[in-house]
Amino acid sequence: MNQQYGQYSVRPGPEAFLPPAAASMGVVLPDPGQAHINGRIVPEEEAFEEAARMFLGGTVPTIFPGPLVLWAWNEKAKKKAKAIKFLYDTLKECAPQDAKPMLIPMPDYRPKYPKINPEVEINPNHPNLTIWHNKIDVCMFVGVHCHQANLSLKIIRGGTNCYTIAMCAQAGHEDACLSFRDASAEKIMHLAEWVKKLKGVVPFGAIKKHVAALETQDRAGGTRN
Amino acid sequence: MDSHSIIGTKNKKGQTYTDPYHLFFEAPRIPSFFTGSEVIKEAIRRASVDLMVAYPITPQSEAAALIGELYAEGYVTDYMRGENEFGVMSECAGGSFGGARVFTTTAGPGTMRAMENFPMWSGARLPIEMIVTCRGINSPLSIQPDTLEIYFLLETGMLVWHAETAQDFYDWILMGFMVAEQPDVHLPIAICCDGFFVTHTKDVVNLTPADMCLPPYDPYRSPVPCMDMECPPVRMMRDPFVMKSNYISYATHASWQQEIRAAVERSRKHTIPLLGGLIETENTDAEILIVSSGTAVSQGREAIRLLAEEGLRVGLVKIKSLRPWPYNEIREATKSAKYIFVPEFNVAGWMAREIKATVPDSDRVIAGPHVAGGMTMPPEVIVEHIQRTLGKSVATLAGRGS
């Protein structure tokens, strides 16, 4: 019951020992045709541009495809998987020279013993706080079941400074810094188009400045300490 | 499967899968004179339920037996009897894990016996609908209404709605499935009513056409994978990863709990258009308000009429949803009130505590009157409580039973 708080800003952390779920802070999910950026509802097109800017401004922009797109359980999943590979290839082609785009699969949610290998994968039930030694400064979840995605997105926000993007096939994720809803292969391809369009426009590492600006803005607005 | 794609097609009973908004708000309504238990049956007839699990405890409402008739008629796909209430709720979980739309009924001590299952349901994101026809839970037992069991459900992570009338009950049973099964919510829902007063009495209820039904549940939109012994949440039950002693395991469990609360919050967006808001209000500019849920609201309405005859203007706030809790709505509705009376059918006064934790200047909240164990709450008792608080001299009703 946190409606007594002001507008809560969902931005990269490290935020807290146990950060709140953004929905409990009054952040609501977008309606069809909309997305959210930092918890603010925006037209979807604005979010495509912002997501492309974040990807291109990151030093290690990373896509985390989950089981809903890694396993060929229906035709839509196959199409999405191809679109994701296309987005990744586009990112490699368009990212600044020093950037290191990655594609890290999240094939299932089985707890791994004794521990997962963050060099190879992440797991929403054991999301290693370093997510690849904390060098991933922008990431996108796609094809991850909503519950598991929310857990990971929130924990990543709590413990790292990674900018998180959710390409959700359902209603979206408040716990991501930026979230689309009703994701389809076409939307993923559209994001790739935006990445192409902004090639060379966004300087390497620009995300650091962006995150710093968000922090300043939030502190000035009194929405974070 | 896209459940929208089958709108307009027929099920094996010849019912048409109907867009829920059309079914709720546009389809013709047929006035019918039914008991609350019969109303439950009629709602389930139209709800495309895959599985009902029952435990035939005595005493009981007739609802579980009546839904057995629906199974015999072919409206409910499967019907099972549990070994006991704990078994019932566990079987419900199994059915829901497997992707079925599941319904059950419970009340009183049975609810308490099954309690361990409810946080498990919500933690596992199982959108099971459970009717709670509230009755006493303590010894000596009572089959009469007493809303104490609702309090035990409030922090289970379930959605909890409290119906005032049989009409509420009918509509909300159908609407409840639609909210609970949203992928961003996907939680169990307890739809409560005051047993006996609602279940065993007859009332006119406007029913939707019997040849229209809800679209089926689509388990492929679930926020967790369908039942899989290797993955959480099932895996955690047989081999709890959360018991690993490290920060991230604990943080995951804590985040899991937060996510359940977050899902409850998300249900507002879906609930408000269907229920017409989480609360309903009348004359909230009055200095005196009665705020409650369930049949205490009905008694409050009558008390308001009696007080109006004496020249005292009193407003009303009917709370429909207890989880999510209408925090902002209650603050707004009570902002002008000098006195906020909270009549309740339990001795604990949990509703008053919830409201005290919500409104500024909580001294304005006056708990009571309270009745319990099946006592009725005559409107005159509410009138007396209000008048005494205002310092007026009134004759007691205590001698009425002699």
pLDDT digits (tens, 9 = 90+) for A159-186: 888 999 999 999 999 999 999 999 999 9
Residue A122 has pLDDT above 70, yes or no: no
DSSP state, residue B211 = T
Q: Is A1 in the B-facing interface, judged by CB distances under 8 Å?
A: yes
Buried b vs exposed e over B320-340: b needs ≥16 C-beta within 10 Å? bbbbbbbbbbbeebbeebebb
Residue A2 has pLDDT above 80, yes or no: no
Q: Give me the residue from B241, B258, B328 closest to A125, CB to CB.
A: B241
Give B-chain residues touching A67 at CB under 8 angstroms: 225
DSSP state, residue B77 = S
Q: Is A29 in the B-facing interface, judged by CB distances under 8 Å?
A: yes
Question: What pLDDT is recorded for position B401?
Answer: 47
Count of beta carbons in the 10 Å neighbourhood of residue A97: 5
Q: Give me the residue from A67, A145, A154 closest to B255, CB to CB.
A: A154
d(CA A73, CA A68): 8
- Quick one: B139 exposed, middle or buried, by C-beta within 10 A (0-12, 13-18, 19+)? exposed
Fold of B3-221: Rossmann fold (3.40.50)
Higher pLDDT, B224 or B318: B318
Count of beta carbons in the 10 Å neighbourhood of residue B294: 29
Q: Give me the residue from B225, B239, B266 closest to A23, CB to CB.
A: B266
Question: Domain residue spans in chain B?
Answer: 3-221, 279-401
Ramachandran region, residue B133 (left: φ > 0; alpha: ψ -120 to 50; beta: rest) = beta
Q: Is A130 in the B-facing interface, judged by CB distances under 8 Å?
A: no
Q: List the single best residue of B182, B185, B231 to mutate versus A (max A Cβ within 10 A).
A: B231
Question: What pLDDT is recorded for position B135?
Answer: 86
Q: How far apart are the first and last CA of chain B?
A: 64
Instruction: Write down the mean pLDDT value for chain A.
Output: 87
Q: Is A67 in the B-facing interface, judged by CB distances under 8 Å?
A: yes
For A155-221, give the DSSP string: HHHHH---EEEEE-SSS--TTSSEEE-S--HHHHHHHHHHHHHTTTTSPTTHHHHHHHHHHHHHHHH
Report yes or no: A53 and A203 within 8 Å, Cβ to Cβ.
no
User: Can you tell me the mean pLDDT for A51-56?
Assistant: 96
d(CA A91, CA B231): 32
Q: Quick one: tokens of A54?
A: 């974040």
Task: Report percent pLDDT > 70 for chain B.
Answer: 91
Residue of B263, B249, B258 lying closest to A19 (CA atoms) = B258
Report yes or no: A29 and B269 within 8 Å, Cβ to Cβ.
yes
Give A-chain residues touching B248 at CB under 8 angstroms: 126-129, 155
Q: How far is A146 from chain B (nearest CA, A)?
A: 4
Within the 96-125 window of chain A, which residues sit less than 8 Å (CB to CB) from chain B? 108-111, 125
Bridge partners, B80 (sequence order) = B53
Measured in whole angstroms, how far is the alpha carbon of residue A102 from the centre of its chain?
13
**Cis status of the peptide bond prior to B140, with omega within 30 of 0:** yes
| CB pair distance less than 8 Å for A148 and B224 | yes
Question: What pLDDT is recorded for position A179?
Answer: 98
Instruction: Write down the mean pLDDT value for chain B.
Output: 90
Q: How far is A158 from chain B (nearest CA, A)?
A: 10
Residue B43 has pLDDT above 80, yes or no: yes
Residue of A22, A2, A140, A154 lying closest to A83 (CA atoms) = A140
d(CA A145, CA A137): 22
Chain B: residues touching A (Cβ < 8 Å): 125, 182-184, 186, 221-225, 230-232, 235-236, 239, 241, 247-249, 251-252, 254-256, 258-259, 261-263, 265-266, 269, 325, 327-328, 358
| CB-based contacts of A16, cutoff 8 Å, min separation 6 | A158
User: Is residue A53, in this structure, part of any structural domain at all?
Assistant: yes
Question: What pLDDT is recorded for position B228?
Answer: 67
Within the 162-181 window of chain A, which residues sit less than 8 Å (CB to CB) from chain B? 170-172, 174-175
| CB pair distance less than 8 Å for A170 and B183 | yes
pLDDT tens per residue, range A186-218: 999 999 999 999 999 988 888 888 888 887 777
Element (H, E) at B110: helix B108-113
- Side-chain-side CA neighbours of B217 within 13 Å: the count stands at 31
pLDDT tens per residue, range B162-216: 999 999 999 999 999 999 999 999 999 999 999 888 888 888 999 999 999 999 9
A126: domain range?
A: 39-131+145-215
Question: Which of A150-154, B41-45, B322-326 has the lowest average pLDDT?
Answer: A150-154
Residue of B214, B209, B170 lying closest to B193 (CA atoms) = B170
User: Can you tell me the mean pLDDT for B323-346?
Assistant: 97
Q: How far apart are the first and last CA of chain A?
A: 20
SS3 (DSSP) at A74 = coil
Question: What pLDDT is recorded for position B233?
Answer: 61
| CB pair distance less than 8 Å for B231 and A171 | no
Question: What pLDDT is recorded for position B143?
Answer: 77
Q: Give me the residue from B225, B230, B258 closest to A24, CB to CB.
A: B258
Question: What pLDDT is recorded for position B1?
Answer: 47
pLDDT tens per residue, range B357-381: 999 999 999 998 999 888 889 999 9
Count how many domains chain A has. Answer: 1
Strand order through the sheet with B189-194: B78-81, B51-54, B102-106, B129-134, B189-194, B159-162, B321-323
Buried b vs exposed e over B86-106: b needs ≥16 C-beta within 10 Å? bbbbbbbbebbbeebbbbbbb
Class of domain B279-401: alpha beta
User: Is residue A160, in this structure, part of any structural domain at all?
Assistant: yes
Q: Is A59 in the B-facing interface, judged by CB distances under 8 Å?
A: no
Give B-chain residues touching A4 at CB under 8 angstroms: 327
Element (H, E) at B105: strand B102-106
Count of beta carbons in the 10 Å neighbourhood of residue A191: 28
Bridge partners, B280 (sequence order) = B318
| CB pair distance less than 8 Å for A154 and B230 | no
Q: Quick one: tokens of B71?
A: 């199974």
User: Is residue A166, in this structure, part of any structural domain at all?
Assistant: yes
| CB pair distance less than 8 Å for B262 and A150 | yes
Question: What pLDDT is recorded for position A14?
Answer: 86
Give B-chain residues touching A34 at CB under 8 angstroms: none
| CB pair distance less than 8 Å for A126 and B223 | no
User: Is residue A7, in this structure, part of any structural domain at all?
Assistant: no
Give A-chain residues touching B236 at CB under 8 angstroms: 111
Residue of B22, B15, B96 lying closest to B53 (CA atoms) = B96
Fold matches, B3-221 and B279-401: yes
Q: How far is A130 from chain B (nearest CA, A)?
A: 11
Q: Give me the residue from B231, B251, B258 closest to A110, CB to CB.
A: B231
SS3 (DSSP) at A222 = coil
Q: Is A20 in the B-facing interface, judged by CB distances under 8 Å?
A: yes
Split at pLDDT 50, 70, 90, the class of B242 is: very low
